Amino acid sequence: MARLIAAMSGGVDSAVAAARAVEAGHDVTGVHLALSRNPRSYRSGARGCCSIEDSGDARRAADALGIPFFVWDMSEEFADEVVEDFVAEYAAGRTPNPCLRCNEKIKFAAVLDRALALGFDGVATGHYAQLREGDDGRVEMHRAVDAGKDQSYVLGVLTQQQLAHSWFPLGGSVKPDVRAEAERRGLQVASKPDSHDICFVADGDNAGWLTEKLGPRPGTVVDESGEVLREHDGAYAYTIGQRRGLRLGVPADDGKPRFVLDIEPVSGTVTVGPRDHLLVDALEGIKPLWCEVPPTGRLSCTVQLRAHGAEHRAVVEVDGETVRVDLLDPAEGIAPGQACVIYHGTRVVGSATIARTHRTEASAPGR
């Protein structure tokens, strides 16, 4: 029997994960994370994971399970490590993933550190991923059985020490079965919709939210020849690969849609062009985080470059704090700031933050 903190977001997945921890005979305490200094300023209802409604749903689930329940105020850490990082990354022309950042810095760093300091053995969450003991005794993280719900990508920032104190009870389940189980257990969240988008952007309008935070930073949208197509109020409203919302007015010569190819944050220049110019066949990653021993030599593997994105066959080579990734399957619309998560089969090896990409010869401008 272990003493576990069950991180309870107020959704069905974390409630069933806590229930399974109790059923397995562990000494479980439910904890809901208060991530906003003013909960009403973050997403409300079923679309987020840190609203007043979510806190109430988590408490009711804990009561139904008969376990102690507490709310931990992580608002200061969340603001510093996740929200401010999100703003700074966009201001620098990069495209961050705040869910990875939250897992790295809040759910499996600040929360786990506090849990261990209080004498708990680990943290159970409702993430869809599987943990196994490897032949060398280390903990391996693998993709979930439910491919559509697999969250190993956003957990690719976890270290071996963190994995050793984590428990993911849902990794071997599919979502319909989890909802059915919640119904059988009498949990009121059984039919609650899944959360979507970024929890701290109240209406889902990232560009509008960033404009409020950063203010207008005028620049231009240009084509690959440098011709100015329109002015804009902030390059942070764009991301590489974006097609919608460009409002260019003048169609391309070939009549085909144009996509954001590059963002230069200092001048505020956003370059657009045809879709085939988005293809990249190599990238460089920085700030690697390894779930296990870092690979040596050239590792034949697959990589995932966005949440719920496709896997790409690749060869990875690590040089200290730099990770070189040669893509055997070219990828489209990959932006600096996103995470490259490395897999060997279903096993997660680690992750790195994409610092720069390299285009295929076929997709380079003018080719």
Please confirm, yes or no, whether 50 is among the known catalytic residues.
no
Give the separation between CA 143 and CA 115, rounded to whole angstroms.
Answer: 25
pLDDT of residue 38: 59
Residue where the block lists tokens 């329109």:
230
Confidence (pTM): 0.90
Q: What is the CATH number of domain 277-363?
A: 2.40.30.10
Kindly name the residue from 50, 99, 102, 291 that is annotated as catalytic: 102
Residue 50 CA neighbour count, 13 Å, CB half: 25
**In whole angstroms, how far apart are CA 64 and each of 58, 92, 169, 193?**
10, 46, 18, 20
Please confirm, yes or no, whether 199 is among the known catalytic residues.
yes
Domain range annotation of the chain: 3-191, 216-273, 277-363
Domain 216-273 classified CATH 2.30.30.280?
yes
Residue where the block lists tokens 């505020």:
268
* CATH superfamily of the 3-191 domain: HUPs (3.40.50.620)
Around Cβ 80, how many Cβ atoms within 10 Å?
Answer: 11
pLDDT of residue 361: 61
Encode the chain (367 residues) as per-residue pLDDT tens digits: 899 999 999 999 999 999 999 999 999 999 999 887 655 544 444 344 566 788 899 999 999 999 999 999 988 999 999 999 999 999 888 989 998 999 999 988 889 999 999 999 999 999 999 999 998 999 999 999 999 999 999 999 999 999 999 999 999 999 999 999 999 999 999 999 887 667 888 777 888 888 889 998 999 999 999 999 999 999 998 999 999 889 887 778 788 899 999 999 889 999 999 999 999 999 999 999 999 989 999 999 999 999 888 999 999 999 999 999 999 999 998 999 999 999 999 999 999 999 999 986 654 444 3
Kindly name the residue from 99, 199, 291, 340 that is annotated as catalytic: 199
pLDDT of residue 252: 81
pLDDT of residue 54: 87
